[in-house]
Every structure is written in structure tokens, then in C-alpha cells.
Amino acid sequence: MRLHRLQVTAFGPFAEPQEIDFDALCGAGVFLLHGPTGAGKTSVLDAVCYALYGSVPGPRQAPGTSLRSDHASTGTPTEVTLELTAGGRRLEITRRPEQDRPKKRGTGTTKDKAQSRLREHTAAGWEALSRSHQEVGEEIEQLLGMSREQFCQVVLLPQGEFARFLRADEAARGRLLGRLFDTRRFAAVETLLGERRRAAEAEVRAGDARVLHTAQRLAQAAGDSADLRDWPLPGHQPGDPGLAAAVRAWAAVARCAARERFTVTEYALAAVEGRHAAARRAAEDERELDRLQRRHAETARRAAALAEAAPERERVRGLLDRARRGALVAPALELRGAASAAHLAAAHAEAAARSELPPPLSEAGTEQLASVEQRLREDLGALGAARRSEQRSAEIGRERADLEREARAAEEQHQESAEWLERWDETRRALTERVDRAQQAATLAEQLAGRLEPARMQLNAARRRDALGADAQRAEGELLSVREESAAARERWLELKESRLRGIAAELAEALVAGEACAVCGSAEHPAPARPAPGHVDRAAEDAAHAAFERAEEARSAVERRLAALEEARAEASAAAGEAATAALVDLTSDLSSRHAAAHADAAVLHTAREHLARAEREHAARSADRLDAERRAAARASRREALDQEQASLEAELALVRGDAPTVAARARTLEDRVRMVAAAAGSLRRAEATAARLKEADDQLADAAFKAGFDTVEDAADAVLPEYERTALQHRMDAWQAEEAMLADRRGESGTAEAAARPPARPEEAEAYAALAAAKLRTAGSAHDAARVRCAELDELSRQAERELRALGPLREAYERVARMAGLTAGTSADNERKMRLEAYVLAARLEQVAAAATVRLLRMSGGRYTLVHSDARASGRGRSGLGLHVVDAWTGSERDTATLSGGETFFASLALALGLADVVTDEAGGMRLDTLFIDEGFGSLDDQALDEVLDVLDSLRERDRSVGIVSHVADLRTRVQAQLEIVKQRGGSVVRHRTAALRD
């Protein structure tokens, strides 16, 4: 992959379009990208990454972070265009992020969606390939063979991250290498085996739990048998290997004990059943004897009572005979009573009706009253038309009253509208003036808003300038302190190092072993080994002093970086705030804010004022139209009133003749209706009285005939003989009871067994019942024991079979769990078979790390003058740590191998740069051999001396042998004289700009 041209517009710090010609820069092999802090050096690399993958590296792509330049004008769109060659194809990628732009019509902004465009240069020129985000991303990733994370690690070599990689533990190295080499499938295998192990373990534990549960049920079913007290249940720990044998043995003992108890209960039940049968027969015999003796005594008592009731039986028999004859006369008596009551009621009604009639009709007969009623009904019918005329007259009165109310209301409305229309000119003028004042206030508010926002931004910049100045002063004081601490730590380390070197002979002597050759002289004899002098400094003390010095250096560098950032931020704030004092800017902003708030409040009523004016104009038009309509309705009401007056006068003349002396036709009609009703009631009462008299005479004749036929001398004797139905029924029941009692006594006297039982001694059924109940209780107890023993045997048999089935099903589960557990422990590095505690993913990454270390060593040897070599270490970690991703450096001068975390600042830069370049080679080979012709190295050169810097530049310059070019991003001033091709980022108030420079031009 080779970059040719990059063009950015309104991106990051670049407001205006900027173009970078990589072909011109890459011709020298190594080019320098430099500029002040915050100018936009990293934004160039971000633009390259955004063009390729549609996003920027790492945390700079955080949610809410905008790629658009704050310096760009609203009409300039944010756009990145990159021209490159990949896979033998020359491509051009153009991307625009989602951004706001001014609306084409009206005010405000609208949001444009993100856009992507891919073109390819062919013999016919540039040919469009795709405008789809997904298609462009898939095409680029397929050509490069790298994801965005791999590209950021391989092409945009982040030295700081690789320096941390050298000092990191194996877990952190594993995370970085896993992202680059995509070993997620191996981690997925570990996870899958772990999940299967847990699932298998859960199944085994569930099976154990089921077996233990069945064993508990066996214990409950067995009860408290004495034969099982010496056979306790097995332990309640799932996974116990002796669980199956213990459960089987315990179940067998429980079944044998239950069957023995069942046999014992069978014999006991048979004996109790015989005794119970004998006791039950004896109790039945005693109950029968007691019943017969009681029956004989009861029969004698009831026969004596029947003989005493003989006179009463004769009296009741006579009453029943007389009541049967009186029942023949009862219907005639009832008929005569009903006729008498009806005649008496009709006579009273006739007298009451005649008392209401006028004197001429008080003695009239039925025919005379009927003729009078007919004449009154004819008069009443003649009043129907008069009623309708009277109703119409009343309706006319109500209609005239409604017309009067409408006229009064219309007059009031007309008067109110006339007064409102007289005030119209004054009202319209006031509303118009209110709208004009609100419009002027809105214009003033817009003007003040345009001045207020810049004033606020200037005030915020001034406050930030003051705060950053104070922070910079504190940082300067802190820098002096940490510089003194760093100098003291360095001096202390050098003193200890010199002291250790003076006593190094004693340190070497401690490693001597009798009979083995000395590492210095080669002799196997050691006659006088050196002894440590008092106060000897060992390697641990020197390493501790060196670590303290490095910590002090890191603290000093951190304070220097913070101070530089504060100075740069203060310069930016000063440029934005200008020369104005903060107090003056506060006063200006406060004055503009108050004036803007007042104008905005006055302008807030503009919409309301316009609405009031429009509503008043609509009301004026409506009132003018209503006034004309009211005049037309008044004329129509006058005409209608005259017509109603004429109609009502004609109706009243007709009604005066019909009403007579009555106030209304309705009153006249009510009078006639009352007379008709009175005459009709009197006639009806007279007819009913005549009919009831005839029925009463007929009933008297029938009653006399019935009494004679029933054998009574008079009607009164017949009436006295009649009894109510309930009395006759009660007397008959008494006679029937005496007869039934007499028949029953006759039957009992014929029984032979009763007399024989009476001759025997008195029976004792209570004693026999008590003995039988005791025998029945013993039988129930024996039966319950027998049933319980039988059920216990059946339940123990079923539970034993269930336990056997569960134990057989548990065997394959336990075998599967052991097999999966061994595999999971081996891949997770926790198994005893895995001697180095190396996980599967770490094992794969260890092979990759070994390749990276071999590729990095080629360049590290040249950078360090043949002194350092990077080697991969898979030594087992101490304690519970994992192994497989160790990285050591071999020092050829001392022959020792140590961890990369012990390298100094310059040595760390050598190693990290070599590691980054080696990683680039390995990832490139894994990506299918894609050539990476353009690389970028970000910072880290400030820790090198002149000789080391020359060696590093020689190594980078050697990359041209593979037709590569390297861009160095650095602040180091010495590089500007050593690197010919340069790309300078110049920071300006209106946005950064890009300048191509060479050393010859600068000289």
C-alpha cells in the first residue's frame, strides 16, 4: 500500500482545503511531520485512517466527538479525500461525516447524512465504483487485509503503546496481540469448553442430588425400624464415589426389614380378626334380647291406654257423623252469605250515588238517568273544536311574547355593536402601535444577540487565560522541585553503581563453586575468593536506585509536558481574549446581556399583538355584517306581530260564545265531564242493587231446601252442625290412630318370641357392646399396622428401582464430565498436565510473539550496535501467574538475559521501534503479503542522543531497500536538520495550514 495524495477540508484544525503530496514527501524515503502542539500533526494521521475505514483511531472516536473544524465557515462541508495504490490498483476514497449545513430556504440548519465515494483509475480515466459505506469498507479491508485496529498498529506505529507493551505483564500483551492477530476463535474454544465443563458438572450434581433425594425418601419410607439404626445414610456430598454402593446396600437392608415386619403383622391380624368376630356375635344376641323385652313391655302399656280412651272414642264418632251431614248444607250457607254481602254493598253504593245528584234527579229511575247521561255526552263532544281554538289563541300569545323578547335582545345587541364600532378607529390605532413597538424590539434583540455571543466567547477565553496563567505558575514551581529530585536520584544511582562496580569481585566470588571453572579466569581452583567489604552495594540496591531515578525522570517529563500544554493553552486563550481585561469584558457582557434580555422580553409579545390585531379586524367585519342583518330581522318581526294580532282577535270572539259563564273552554268541559260521571255512577249503582236483591231471594230458597234434605229441623241447626275442614280432619285422624293402634296390638299379641324373651332374665347390651368395641379397636390397629407394612414394602421396592435407574443414568454423565473437565483445564492452563499454565489462546499468541521478536531483533541489533536481542520466553510464571507471553532482552555485552521492563528510556525507544517494525512485517505477511510502502512513526526521538539518533535514522533509511517510505512525527528540533523532506503544520488563528519544506529551501 502506497499513499499518493491527501486532501482535507474543514477537518479537525484545518478550516480551509489543505492538500498533502505524499509522492513528493516519500521520494526521499524518510520525511518529517512537525509543528507546535495542537497544530494538527495527529489530525493528518486521523484523516488517513478516516478515509480508509470511516473512523479515527482509538479514543478520538468517542461518542459526541465531532470531526468538523470549529474554524470552518458554515457553508464549507467537512470532507477527506485520499488517493492510494493497493493491490496494484490506484484508488481514490472520498468521505464526508454526518454534519449540519444551512438550509437552502429560510433560516436554521439541516443535517446531511454521511457520504462515501470510491473511484478507480483505469486507462479510460477515473471510474466510479461505489457510494455505499458498507461496500467501500469491505472493498478497502479486503484489499489491505487488515482491520482498523491492525492498520493503526502497523502503519501508524504508536511508539508509546509499544513502550507500554515492553513493560506490560503477560495479560496486557495478550490483549494487544489478540486484537492484531484475531485469536478470538481460540478464546471461544476455551470459553466453549469451560461452559461445557460447567454444564456437565451441573448435570452430575443434579444427578447426585436426585440420588440423594431418593435416598432421603427411602429413609422416610423405612421409618424408625430398629434393624436400620446401625445403617446410616451415605454422605450428602455430590460427587462422592461411594454414593452408589452405599445407597444400594442401605436400600437392600431396608427392604428386608420391611418384609419381616409385614409377615409379623399378617399373623397378628388373623388372631385379632377371630376374637373380633366372636365379640360381635355376642353383642348382636344381647341387642336382640333387649329389643324383644322392650317390645313386650311397650305392648302391655299401650293396650291399657287404649282401653282408658273408649268413652272419648264414642264422643268423637258422634261429632264426625253430625259434621258429615252439616257438610251437605255448607255450600248453600256460603252462597246465601255471599249474596247478602253483595246486596248490602250495592244498597250502600246506591244511597251514596243518589245523594250527589241534584234534587230533580234524586228519585229518578234507571231509564231517566240514562237519557240525561246521553244528553250531557253530546254537549261535551261539541266542545272539541272550541278547545283547539283556545289552544291556538294561547300559542299566539306565547309567540307574540317570544317576538317581544327577540326585539328587546336585538335592540340591546344593536346598541352594543354601535358603541363598539364608534371606538374602532382608536382600537385599531393602539393595536397597530403595539405591533410596531414589538417588531422594533425584535430587531434590536437580534442585533444585540450578534454582539453578545462573541463577547461571551472573549470573556470565557479571558477567564481561561487567567486560570491557565495561575496553573502555569504552579507547574513551574513544581517543575523546579521535580528537577531537583530527579538530579538527586540520578546522583544517588550513579554513586551506588560506582560502589557496586568497585566490589564486583566479591559479587562474582559468591557464584564460585568448588571444582567448577571460574567465569573470569577459567581456573577450577579458588584459593582466595574476594569477600564483600562493609557496606557493599548489591544488584538489588542498584536496581532500586535506578528505578527511583526512572520514576523521578518520568515525574519530571510529566510536569514538563503539563507545563508545555498549559503554556500552549494559555497562548491560545490569550489570542482569543485579546488585550482586554477580564473585568472590562465582564462589564461589557453584563451590559449586553441585560439589554438583550429587555429587548427579547419586549419582542416576545409580537406574536400576541399581531393575533390581537387580526382578531379585532375579524370582529369589526362580523359586527358590520350583523348590523345589516339585524335591521332585516326587525322588519320581519313587525309584519309577523300584526298578523298574529288579527288572528287572535278572531279566535277570542268565537270562544266568548262557547265558554258561557266558564272562564275557559277547558273549565266548561271539566264541568260537563263531572256531570256525566255522576249520572253514570248513579245509574250503575241502581242497576247493581236491583240485581243483588234478586240473587239474595234465590239463595234463601236454596238454603231452606238443603237443610231439610240433610235432616235438620231449622236452618240454624244446620249452620251449628257445620265444622271447619281442619277440625273434621283432626277428629278423623284421632279415629284412624285408635283403629291403627288396636290392629297393631292384635298383631303383637300373636308373636311367640316376645313372650319367651320376657320370661328370660333382663339383657345387658352395654357390656356386650363395650367388649365388641374394644375388639374392633384392636382389629383396626392390627389392620393399620398390616396395611402400613404392605405399603412400606411396595414403596421401598419402587424407590429402590428408581434409585437404581438414577445410579445407572449417572455413570455416563460422570464419565462425560471428567473428559470435558480434563480438556477445559488443559486449554485454560489450570490442569496439572499443562506444566507451564499456558492457555490455548496464549499458546497461539506465543508463536506469533516469537515471530515478532525474531523480526524485531534484525533491526534492534543494528540500532543498538549489535548489543541487544529480543527473545520470546515461555518460562513458567511464579505463583499463580500464567506463562507463554514473556519477552526478554539479551545484552551481548554482559551475556545476561533480563526483562524488557528494565530497559532505559533510549533503550526502550530502540526496542519499541524495532518491535513495531517487526510487528508490521509479521502482520503484513499474515494479511497475505500486502506491501506497506508508507509507514508513520509518532514521537519518541527526544530520548536519543546524537549517535543513537543517527543509528535509528540509518535503520529507517534502510527501509527504502524494500521501496518503503517512513514519516516521522516529532517535536525534536535536531531532526529538522537531519531529514530533508518535511511537512510542517502551521497553527494560525483561523485554522492550521500545511506547508511542504525541504532542508535546501530552509538553508
CA-to-CA distance for 678 and 668, rounded, in angstroms? 16
pLDDT tens per residue across span 231-260: 455 544 445 566 777 777 777 877 787 787
- pLDDT value of position 83: 92
Residue with cell 550496535: 865
Provide the pLDDT for residue 93.
93
Contacts 24+ apart (CB under 8 A), 847-854: 848/177, 848/181, 848/922, 849/173, 849/177, 849/885, 849/887, 851/922, 852/915, 852/918, 852/919, 852/922, 853/887, 853/915, 853/918, 854/918
Q: Is the pLDDT of residue 739 over 70?
A: yes
What average pLDDT does this structure show over 700-705?
75
pLDDT, one tens digit per residue, over 714-727 is 777 777 777 777 77
Count other C-beta atoms under 10 Å from residue 548's C-beta: 17
Dihedral over Cα of 262, 267, 272, 273: its sign: positive
Q: Please give the model's pTM, rounded to 2 decimal places.
A: 0.39
User: Mapped to the 3 state alphabet, what secondary structure does 561-577 carry?
Assistant: HHHHHHHHHHHHHHHHH
Quickly state the pLDDT bin for 1000 (edges 50, 70, 90).
very low
Q: What is the pLDDT of residue 226?
A: 41
930 pLDDT more than 60: no
Res 466: pLDDT? 84
pLDDT given at position 959? 55
- The pLDDT of residue 79 is 92
Q: Of the candidates 365, 180, 203, which has an alpha carbon nearest to the alpha carbon of residue 849? A: 180
From CA 837, how far away is CA 846, in angstroms rounded? 13
Question: What is the tens place of the pLDDT at every residue in 531-566?
Answer: 776 777 777 887 888 888 888 888 888 888 888 888
pLDDT of residue 601: 82
Neighbouring residues of 327: CB distance < 8 A, sequence distance ≥ 6: 722, 728
Give the per-residue pLDDT at 656: 65
Looking at mean pLDDT, say which of 340-349, 433-442, 665-674 comes out highest. 433-442
pLDDT in tens, 1-10: 788 889 999 9
Average pLDDT of the chain to the nearest whole number: 76
Query: CA of 911: how far to CAs of 13, 59, 513, 548, in Å?
Result: 33, 25, 36, 22
Confidence of residue 169 (pLDDT cuts 50, 70, 90): low
The residue count for the chain: 1003
- Calculate the CA 637 to chain-centre distance: 71
How far is Cα 57 from Cα 459, in angstroms, rounded to an integer?
A: 34
